[in-house]
Each structure stands twice: as structure tokens, then as C-alpha cells.
Amino acid sequence: MARDRHILGVLVENRPGVLARISGMFARRGYNIHSLAVGPTEDDAVSRLTIVVGTEAVQLEQIVKQLNKLVHVLKVIELGDDAVARELQLVKVDAGPETRSRIIEIADVFRARVVDVGLDTVTIEAAGNPRKLEAMLDLLRPFGVREFVRSGTISLSRGSRSISDGSRARIRRVV
Amino acid sequence: MRITGAEAVMRTLEALGVDTVFGYPGGAIMPAYDTLLDAGIHHVLVRHEQGAVHMAEGYAHATGRVGVCIVTSGPAATNLVTGLTDAMMDSIPVLAITGQVASTAIGTDAFQEADVTGITMPITKHNELVRSADRIRDAIKEAFHVARTGRPGPVLVDLPKDVLNATVEWEWDPDVDLPGYRPTVRGHGRMLREALELIGAATRPVIYAGGGLVRAGADAELRAFAERLGLPVVTTLMARGVIPDTHELALGMPGMHGHYTAIRALQEADLLVVLGARFDDRVTGRLDAFAPHARVVHVDVDPAEIGKNREADVPLVGDVKIVLGQLLELLDDLAAKGRGDESVPDVAAWRAHLAAMAEAHPLRCEQPDEGVLKPQTAIRAIHAAWGDDAVYVAGVGQHQMWASQLIPYSRGGQWINSGGLGTMGFAVPAAIGAKVGVGRDVPVVAIDGDGCFQMTLQELATAVQHDIPVAFCVINNGYLGMVRQWQTLFYEDRLSQVTLPQDLPDLMKLADAYGIPGFRVDRVEDLAATVEKAAAITDRPVLVEFRVDPDEMVFPMVPSGASNDEVLESAEEWHARRLAAAGVEGE
Ligand SMILES: Cc1ncc(C[n+]2csc(CCOP(=O)(O)OP(=O)(O)O)c2C)c(N)n1
Ligand SMILES: [Mg+2]
């Protein structure tokens, strides 16, 4: 069975417990979450989640329907392959005087930034799609990666359309 | 005008038309119980909070209205868990109001604190912890709305004590604004036409009628639709009665313990018209072998049910009552254009085949003229005594299956049971709630097992105290009969922990202790006279014990996990099949 990654954009009412409702629903129904990111939107009363799920197409439809059943979920869209998808990654790499410049070169190639330089480490910040971040990490590994952290995917569709086009997402209540 | 939060609770309930609540008081909910004294709301004091929520369910089952229960925090709220799950599984509109510790104490493991909205998140359609008194009105109003609309279900509102004690400006406003909650109720035009096309082209169509029809109150529409097109109907455990069992199109119940013809009809069908049903595993048996030749028209108000277990050729999201109305209108339009026949399938051969099958495969039970009383005979006698109009409420087990199979039901809501969750202990409180709902004129009969009865029998006191005249019939086989049946058939008759001594407790003494008339019958020759005597008592609760043959088993039966093609009609058939299988292996 083919398990693909699918990116969902989800608008929710900004209410206590809404994240628990969503993650609980995924856990209870055995759906596989790769990543989940939450943040504000242009409307104070509304938050936006980007959820990356690993699932077959049939199950994806069921996931979307189950999300839509949650009272505080306003809108769910699937972001297609052409959507802009980004993650943020911070990597702390061993770096002595002889390796530091090579590490900084690698960072430059990936348009990453050095955000901290310690006695024997540098910390690099990179944003991009998961494949690019993975590639950068692979090149840094031989130097010794002490730790790294990566955010969940956030994603927007290309072009002028937005998730809140259409009636379901027009929010009147201000909580 | 300024009032307290607790007063706002009562005023909101009154404004919503709630006249009865089932509940139990305690610390955190006390402010509400104080204002209850001055409210125009009848309160039924239960003996265990599980009783309160099952009563609310029974009330909702029987009336179609939202059943309301109200309890305090902590252990009282956790006692609701089983009933809320039950209501969730069977889509029963229930509003649960729970007290909570004061806002400032939340999260400190305070006395009788429990994370009730957290605990009930997966077992309610929605819930809310109310954080300020000015949310009370809208929280309850929205909960009520969510409970009864779309696919109905339980909704819980958790009210901290300080919120109940705070003051708030009161004004009623009936509008509900939930931007994320807009159930689709009308069917899609193109899908409606496609549904009729498929039906018109079918040769072996069957309506697979589910509990959604009962929830929607769609008896009349179903009947009109089935009659108009000549479609045979199977009614699931949750839909018994939604078309009368005596109707010529009614085939009975499908599923694990369904009627033979209903099970076979689905297996042989070339089209299923699925109305408010969800392809539950107890109906389908092994899913990939279920109705293998059938295309599917699936109507449900919950889009997530469509395509969940079985793909639909024509998905139709909408309230099944409204969708059936639309389909009937469409048929009228076609008829007006002289194309009325296009959607009417030619089912003469199919119906003749099913009729012959029903004739050849009746339910079997050998009742001797004297002595041992068969449980099936007891159930038939219960129906004979309490009649065609009574509401019958079952527990879970063999007695439930017999009550579903053997009583001819004639309207939706007349048969009440716990289908999705299979909750032992449901019958006694649910029957009490149903009786409160239907009032004096309609008899309500609980048909319970000896095991089930002992799970919630404390509610007899509630029935007595509040003068709720339910007839409690206990089918006492001295066993957890359904579990025993599985052990007999599938575990070489190795009976493990299924014996319940028939005298323990002595149910006649129990009736006596609760001050209600008690009747016991253990021989078939005494049956009719005894039930008649019991049924003549209509002004107070009665308890009737039927001591029945403990060895009787429920058939037909599709063994768990098997295909519906493997339906068994008797234990002998099962043994013969096993011997044959062993013989084949031995060769
Ligand atoms: C709360 C709960 N516990 C356990 C079960 C499993 N179970 C299903 S039927 C049954 C036996 C019921 O016995 P009884 O009430 O005597 O009914 P009978 O089958 O004998 O008619 C049991 C234990 C259940 N459904 N619900
Ligand atoms: Mg029993």
C-alpha cells in the first residue's frame, strides 16, 4: 500500500483545546502525522495548521472528512505538489579553526545563515523544502552534527488563491 | 437584568424547551441545583450517574428530543463515560452538563477534579469547558444545537463552580453561530438523478435501512419510497420498526444474528440503497465478502460515513428524510413527464425469490408444550401481553437478539437498544428515560438479561420514587448467555466465568425490597397467565422474571469474522460443518 505524504492546510477557531482535539483524533483513528505546525493568521480569531500526513489517498479523504467534523475546524484544504512548502532547521556542527570555513561555505551554497559561532561549534539556520534541508544535513554530518532541530512544514498554495476563499472560512465570531 | 451563572443555566434550558433532566447533585454543581428549585424543570434523581446518561439516551431514543443529564464534577462526570460513548456510537442526541472545580483550582489536582473535557473529547460530538459566566448561555445553546442537528450525538458542557456563582447580564437570543459547523442536509441534484438511474436499472435491489432513518424521523418517507419503487427493505438493529415488520417489503434484520432472508438478500443484491447506515462490522461480517455483487447508493448526513468502509457508486450527503423527500419529488417530476417507469426496477422475480426463501428459512425454536420455557417463547409472550404499541428496550446479549428478531416492530423509536457499543446495563435506565419521554399512554417494557440487569438495577429505586411505571422483564438463563454461546461454539464448550446463579439475587425478594409487584414464571404452561397479570399493572413498575432454558442459543449466526455467506441456522449445522472440515483435513 502506497503511503504518500500529503500536506493539509487547516483553518481552526482559535479556542482552547483545539490542538488536542485534532491530535487526539489522529491518534485515535490511527492516522500517521509526519509533522504539524500551528500559527496565527491574518484573523485573530483563527489559527492555521499545516499537517503533513503519511497515508494512502483513500484514507486521506477520510482524514479530511474527520477533520471537518470537528466543530472548531473551519476549513481543510489539501496543498498539492506545486505548493510552496518550507521547514526551518537549526544545526549545531563541530567546527574547529581548520573546518569552520568549509562549513560556512556549505551553508552559503544552501543559502543558510550562520547564527551562532562558539569555541568549537557553529550553528546554522536554514529554511527550505525538506529535501534541501536533508541534503545540507548530509553534507554537514562528516564534520560532526551535535544536534539539530527542524520545524514542521508550513505551506501555501501558489498563485492568488488563498485558503479562506469560499464561505466556510468567513469568520464572524470574535472570541 | 443580572443573574447568576447557575440561573443562566436553568433559563437557557427553559428557553430551549427542556422540561426534564436526569441527574445527581454534588459539590461543584450545587449552585445549579439551588436554582433548579425555582426553575420549571422536572428533575429525575437517579441512583448512579451512568443511569442519568442512559435515561437521557432512552428519552432521546423514544422522543427524538435531546435528552439532558446533569451531574457534578470528578467521579460523577467520569461515571458518564460509558453512556456518552454509547450515545456517540448510536448517534443519540444527549446534552450532559457537568460541574467542575473552581477555575482557579483547575490543573491543581483539586478535590474531585477530573479533566472531563479531555476525557470525553473522543466520546462526544463536541464539548466545552466554560471559562466565564457570559459564555454559559451560548455554550449550552450551541451544545444543544450540535447535539440534535446533523448526525446527532452527545455534547458535554463543563461548568466550573465559580462560573456558576458569578453574575451575568441575561437576555435570551436564540441564534446560533458556529462557523465551523454547517451540516449539509439537502442532497445534490445530480447525485439524486444518478441514484434513481441505478435503481431503475437494478434487478436485485435492496434498501439497507439504518438508525439514521429513525434519528431523522423518516418512517413515512422510507415507506413511500420503498413502496413507490417496490424495493425490499432490511432494517438494521438500530432501525428495527422504521418500516413495519409486517409490511410486505420488510425482510427483517441483517447481520450477525439477523434474519436469514435479510442476510441473503444483501449477499445476492445487485444494488444496495443504503439509508442512514454505516456498514458496521456486525452487519457486514467479513467486509470484503459483503454484498459482493452490489453497487451502492449511500445516503448519510455524515459525509465521513460515505466511503469509510465500503465505496459508494453514488454518494449522497444529506438528511435522509430530506433526501428521500427530494427523491420522491424527482419521481413525481419524472411521472409528470411520462417517464415515471424509468426508475421503477423490475423486481418481480427478485421478490418472489426472497419470499420463497423467507418461507423456507423461518426462525426456529422447539418449544415443548409443558415444562421448560424457551427464551424465545418468553419474548413472544411479552409481545403478546404488552402489544404492538409498546416501546421495547433491551440490554445486550442473547435476549437482545431474540427481542430484535422476534417482536414485529411497527415504527421507528419503538425498539431501543445499545447497538454500536453493546452496553450491558443499558436497558433499565434507558427504559425509565423512554417512559418519561412517551408518557402514561404508551407502555414501556425493558427486556433485560440476568447479567445486564444486575449492572444497573439500582435504578429501580428511581422508577419507584418518581412513579415511572416501566415493566422490567428479566430473561434469566443463569448465564452470561451470549458469552457462553461463543464459548460453546468457538471454545469447545470450555465455559469460563459465565455462570450467574439463577437465585442470586432472588428477584422476587428484590421486587419486594423495592416495593413493586414481582412475578416469576419458569414453566411454559404458566406463561400466558403470568404475563397477562403483570401487563395489567400499568400504574407502577413491575418486575417479571422468566426462568428460561439456559442452553438455548441465538440463530441465525454468522461467526465473528466470517463471510455472511457462512450464516448458520442451528448449532447442528455448525457441528456438521466442523466435522466436515476436520474430515477433509484428515484425508
Ligand atoms: C459492560 C459490558 N461488559 C461486558 C460485555 C460483554 N458481554 C456481551 S453479552 C454478555 C452477556 C450478557 O448476559 P445477560 O445479560 O445475562 O444476557 P444473555 O446473553 O444471557 O441474554 C457479556 C458479558 C458487554 N457487552 N458490556
Ligand atoms: Mg443471561
The pLDDT tens digits of the residues spanning B169-219 come to: 999 999 999 999 999 999 999 999 999 999 999 999 999 999 999 999 999
Instruction: Characterize B444-478 residue by residue with b for buried, 16 or more Cβ atoms within 10 angstroms of its Cβ, and e for exposed.
Output: bbbbbbbbbbbbbbbbbbbbeebebbbbbbbbbbb
Residues A14, A72 within the same domain:
yes
Residues A73, A9 within the same domain:
yes
Residues B352, B491 within the same domain:
no
Residues A167, A121 within the same domain:
no
Residues B40, B142 within the same domain:
yes
pLDDT at B225 over 90: yes
pLDDT at A122 over 80: yes
In this structure, what CATH number is given to the domain that contains residue B270?
Answer: 3.40.50.1220
In this structure, what CATH number is given to the domain that contains residue A139?
Answer: 3.30.70.1150
Residues A163, A77 within the same domain:
yes
Lowest mean pLDDT among A123-127, B307-311, B511-515, B576-580: B576-580
Residues A74, A15 within the same domain:
yes
User: Looking at the 3D structure of chain B, how many domains does it have?
Assistant: 3
Residues A164, A137 within the same domain:
no
Q: Are the C-beta atoms of residues B462 and B405 closer than 8 Å to each other?
A: no
- pLDDT category of residue A58 using cuts at 50, 70 and 90: confident
pLDDT for A171 equals 45
ipTM exceeding 0.85?
Answer: yes
Question: Which among A69, A70, A173 is the nearest to B179, CB-wise?
Answer: A173
pLDDT at A175 over 60: no
User: Looking at the 3D structure of chain A, how many domains does it have?
Assistant: 2
- The answer as to whether B580 is a domain residue is no
Identify the domain containing residue A164 by its residue range.
Answer: 5-82+157-174
The Cα angle at residue B414 between residues B410 and B466, in degrees rounded to 5: 150
Of B152 and A80, more confident: B152
- pLDDT category of residue A166 using cuts at 50, 70 and 90: low
pLDDT at A172 over 90: no
B122 contacts in chain A (CB < 8 Å): 24-25, 28
Over the stretch B416-427, which tens digit does the pLDDT of each residue have?
999 999 999 999
Residues A21, A70 within the same domain:
yes
- Please, which residues 286-305 of chain B have a Cβ atom closer than 8 Å to chain A? 302-304
Percent of chain B's residues with pLDDT above 70: 99
In this structure, what CATH number is given to the domain that contains residue B528?
Answer: 3.40.50.970
Most ligand 1 atoms within 8 A of CB, residue of B50, B256, B396 to mutate: B396
Q: Which residues pair with B584 in a beta bridge?
A: none
pLDDT for A1 equals 44
Over the stretch B425-457, which tens digit does the pLDDT of each residue have?
999 999 999 999 999 999 999 999 999 999 999
For residue B224 the three cell numbers come to: 413511500
Residues B387, B527 within the same domain:
yes
Residues A27, A78 within the same domain:
yes
Q: What is the Cα–Cα distance from B5 to B70, expressed in whole angstroms? A: 15
Tell me how far the alpha carbon of residue B90 lies from the centroid of ligand 2, in angstroms: 23
Residues A109, A77 within the same domain:
no
C-alpha torsion sign, points B479, B482, B487, B493 = positive
Residues A9, A60 within the same domain:
yes
Residues B355, B381 within the same domain:
no
Percent of chain B's residues with pLDDT above 90: 97
Instruction: Using CA coordinates, name the residue in chain A closest to B180.
Output: A74
Q: Is B187 helix (H, G, I), strand (E, B) or coil?
A: coil
Average pLDDT of the residues in B492-505: 97
Cβ–Cβ gap A13/B180 under 8 Å:
yes
Element (H, E) at B207: strand B205-209
Tell me how far the alpha carbon of residue B465 lies from the centroid of ligand 2, in angstroms: 27
Average pLDDT of the residues in B457-467: 98
Q: Show the DSSP H helices in B218-313 as ranges.
A: 219-229, 260-268, 281-284
Q: Are the C-beta atoms of residues B21 and B42 closer than 8 Å to each other?
A: yes
**Mean pLDDT of chain A, nearest integer:** 91
In this structure, what CATH number is given to the domain that contains residue A38?
Answer: 3.30.70.260
B126 contacts in chain A (CB < 8 Å): 71
Sheet containing A73-79: order of strands: A33-40, A46-55, A4-13, A73-79
Residues A78, A113 within the same domain:
no
pLDDT for B211 equals 98
pLDDT at B79 over 60: yes
Residues A163, A150 within the same domain:
no
Atom of ligand 1 nearest to the CA of B82: 1
Residues B165, B298 within the same domain:
no
Q: Are strands A4-13 and A46-55 parallel, antiparallel or unpaired?
A: antiparallel
**Mean pLDDT of chain B, nearest integer:** 97
Average pLDDT of the residues in A24-52: 95
